[in-house]
A and B are shown apart, each in its own frame.
Chain A
Amino acid sequence: MPEMPEWGRSWRLHPLVQLTLVRYREFIREPEAMFWVFIFPILMAAGLGIAFRNKPAEVSKIAVLTTAHQADSVVARLRRDSSVVVQSVTDSGGAENLRTGKVALLVIPRGGDSVEYRYDDTRPEARSARQLVDDVLQRGAGRKNPVGTRETLVREPGSRYIDFLVPGLLGMNLMSSSLWGLGFALVDQRRKKLLKRLLATPMAKTHYLASFLLSRLTLLFMEVLILVGFGVLAFGVPMRGSLLVFATICLLSTLAFGGLGLLVAARPKTVEAASGLMNLVMLPMWVFSGVFFSSSNFPKVAQPFIQALPLTAANNALRANMLEGAGFAAVAPELGILALWLLIAFPIALKIFRWR
């Protein structure tokens, strides 16, 4: 130490600051925990975002039987359209390609102006290829559309799957890192008798528990920044609501999940017992709370239960804020549910906490 510290005066030597620093150091010196909290959600968002990305309009692969009459003019006409890829085939190759799905449709010119379409009508891409080819050929032959149409394309961020997913992943991440981060560390310290040793000092119990919540909040900031930053930069996920409302939702969710974490960790003496409890608490929320798909898919009778879960409240509020720009008034019910969880879990956890 460079100079004599002034114990009891310098803020850095306050027990709450020291306890929080130790918590924080324990976390950042654990590479595995860093991976699960920071990297894993990004990998998941990236993977799912790519898998379910909105694909550009597909091109249809078709084949034209060139041994027929006037095949050349049919091929030339179809080649002028960019939405079909035309293959010239002979008799046997055409049937083979159709059967194996290499082409969706086989066009057989039948002399004069007539053609035969050969395709499997149970395959969606075959049906759409037939419409497309027919359209091109009819227009090429001089068909006029009796109804005038105009097309406006809507590909707006906010309605894609990745936009739905990122707030859900954020909610899930807030839950699991709060529960694991708090629960695991507390039970581990109890098992190692470190809790007992600390209890033998004049340390305030409230400082001890508060340090866990405080270190969670510091990490929360980084977690949110990384995951949401990734969603915004890589996928253009919108952030339409006010940042203040967004921060409030994150903060209250973390506190509510932190309260749950304390409650789960209040009694167990072994890490195994604690993990069992944590999975018991988290599993229903992973399934029901609308992380990967909307929770409205579940039957009506289950909805009151599902809506009361803290992760459902967190996810709904985050989505409303990020995607629809909801303000405090709109997310008030969700914030209320989160606050209620905090107010129930935290005092019970304190009451039943096993210190020795």
Chain B
Amino acid sequence: MTRLALSLRGLRKAYGNVIAVDGLDLEVRVGECFGFLGPNGAGKTTTIEICEGLNDPDAGEVVVLDRTWARDAADLRMLLGISLQETQLSEKITVEETLTLFRSFYGVRGRPVEEAIASVELGEKRAARVGTLSGGQKQRLALACALVADPELFFLDEPTTGLDPQSRRQLWDLIEGFKRAGRTVILTTHYMDEAERLCDRVAIVDHGKVIALGTPRELIASLGAEHVVEFAMAESGEPRPGEEGLPDAALASLAGVHGVQRENGTVRLRTAHVHQTVPALLQLLQARRVEMSELRTHTATLEDVFVSLTGRHLRDA
């Protein structure tokens, strides 16, 4: 039996009338990189903060590295490496001073400050005050603060939110390094590309519940189609664009199509075979005298999984 790094059963948390986490069950194995993917407000941060011992659940059971917060809080704090979503480290303190402070909490356990600085590539900024660092550098410093603990389990809440593409890639390399070192990583993100690239398994979370769980590949495969064809209809077209002009049934019967979805005048077809679906679609549109204004195709992503499950996009959900 593989050891579990995290086990959640029936986790519930409400703030007044707002239910943040609504009966969440989950297991994460040691050595996995696991991602909570979901839009803002889905309950990801509440869930991860309960796992980190920073928030108390209303109901449910949390076991982290075979320990519970009620009994083994002191132990757990030693074993976890954490980066919170919004922490602002003291601006007037230098990189090295910040890490020395964090390092001091872990006693004989933990890694040398030097090593942490090197692994997040902040060697040149060692003596720079935190206030002078860029967003990406600050986020790398936040990871280094987790790194000096030499933790068995990393909890990273939105590690790359608000960063430029280059900084994001740098952080991804870092997190992949944690994985290679055999550490368990649990992260939250609302970027599907981040989840696809980093995570061995992903839980798609919406309204405080896990609505899909599996490897990114499994989740995409669950769509029954690996491609997406998106098109929009020109507004001036006759007959009027919409259900009546182009019924879902007609679209669903096109070659290769597994699913049809509409959103603001855009129609999205999930398909196994783009090369069959597109010609058939063009034919259908011509026969129905519907004018097309846009046509896009892409390989299905976790975003499409989210859209097909909720009818909304991750970003604007």
List residues of chain A with CB under 8 Å of any chain B CB: 1, 4-5, 7-8, 13-15, 17-19, 21-22, 25-26, 29-30, 189, 192-194, 196-197, 199-203, 356
CB-CB < 8 A to A8: which residues of B?
107-108
The answer to whether A197 and B84 touch across the interface, beta carbons within 8 angstroms, is: yes
For A189, give the chain B residue with the smallest CB separation: B90
Given A29-B92, A193-B86, do A200 and B110 touch, yes or no (CB 8 Å)? no
- The answer to whether B77 has its CB under 8 Å from any CB of chain A is yes
A249 to chain B, nearest CB (A): 32
B15 to chain A, nearest CB (A): 13
Complex CA–CA separation, A196 to B87 (angstroms): 8
Please list 7 pairs of residues, one from A and one from B, whose beta carbons are closer than 8 Å in the complex, sorted by A's number.
A18-B104, A25-B93, A26-B90, A193-B86, A196-B84, A197-B145, A202-B106
The answer to whether A13 and B89 touch across the interface, beta carbons within 8 angstroms, is: no
For B79, give the chain A residue with the smallest CB separation: A202
The answer to whether B88 and A194 touch across the interface, beta carbons within 8 angstroms, is: yes
- The answer to whether B149 has its CB under 8 Å from any CB of chain A is yes
The answer to whether B55 and A7 touch across the interface, beta carbons within 8 angstroms, is: no
Given A194-B88, A200-B77, do A15 and B93 touch, yes or no (CB 8 Å)? no
Main secondary structure of the interface of B (DSSP, over half): loop
- The answer to whether B80 has its CB under 8 Å from any CB of chain A is yes
Given A7-B108, A201-B105, do A1 and B113 touch, yes or no (CB 8 Å)? yes
The number of residues on chain B lying at the interface, defined by a beta carbon within 8 Å of a beta carbon of chain A, is 35
Given A196-B84, A197-B84, A356-B54, do A22 and B90 touch, yes or no (CB 8 Å)? yes
The answer to whether B113 and A200 touch across the interface, beta carbons within 8 angstroms, is: no
The answer to whether B84 and A202 touch across the interface, beta carbons within 8 angstroms, is: no
B159 to chain A, nearest CB (A): 14
The answer to whether A202 and B90 touch across the interface, beta carbons within 8 angstroms, is: no
Complex CA–CA separation, A17 to B97 (angstroms): 12
For B73, give the chain A residue with the smallest CB separation: A202
- The answer to whether B42 has its CB under 8 Å from any CB of chain A is no
CB-CB < 8 A to A14: which residues of B?
104
The answer to whether B52 and A200 touch across the interface, beta carbons within 8 angstroms, is: yes
- The answer to whether B101 has its CB under 8 Å from any CB of chain A is yes
The answer to whether B92 and A201 touch across the interface, beta carbons within 8 angstroms, is: no
The answer to whether B103 and A7 touch across the interface, beta carbons within 8 angstroms, is: yes
The answer to whether B88 and A193 touch across the interface, beta carbons within 8 angstroms, is: yes
The answer to whether A193 and B77 touch across the interface, beta carbons within 8 angstroms, is: no
Complex CA–CA separation, A18 to B106 (angstroms): 12
For B84, give the chain A residue with the smallest CB separation: A197
Given A18-B104, A193-B86, A200-B53, do A26 and B93 touch, yes or no (CB 8 Å)? yes
Complex CA–CA separation, A21 to B78 (angstroms): 22
CB-CB < 8 A to A30: which residues of B?
92
CB-CB < 8 A to B89: which residues of A?
194, 197
Q: Mark each residue of chain B from 9 to 39: 1 if its CB lies under 8 Å from any CB of chain A, else 0.
A: 0000000000000000000000000000000
The 5 closest A-B CB pairs, nearest first, are A192-B88, A18-B104, A29-B92, A202-B77, A8-B107
The answer to whether A202 and B53 touch across the interface, beta carbons within 8 angstroms, is: no
Complex CA–CA separation, A340 to B90 (angstroms): 34
The answer to whether A203 and B107 touch across the interface, beta carbons within 8 angstroms, is: no
B84 to chain A, nearest CB (A): 5
Given A7-B110, A193-B84, do A22 and B101 touch, yes or no (CB 8 Å)? yes
CB-CB < 8 A to A192: which residues of B?
86-88
CB-CB < 8 A to B103: which residues of A?
7, 13
- The answer to whether B231 has its CB under 8 Å from any CB of chain A is no
Given A200-B54, A200-B77, A202-B105, do A13 and B82 touch, yes or no (CB 8 Å)? no
The answer to whether B101 and A18 touch across the interface, beta carbons within 8 angstroms, is: yes
The answer to whether A26 and B78 touch across the interface, beta carbons within 8 angstroms, is: no
- The answer to whether B74 has its CB under 8 Å from any CB of chain A is yes
Q: Select one of A21, A196, A201 contacting B149, CB under 8 A.
A: A201
Given A13-B104, A193-B88, A202-B105, do A4 and B112 touch, yes or no (CB 8 Å)? yes
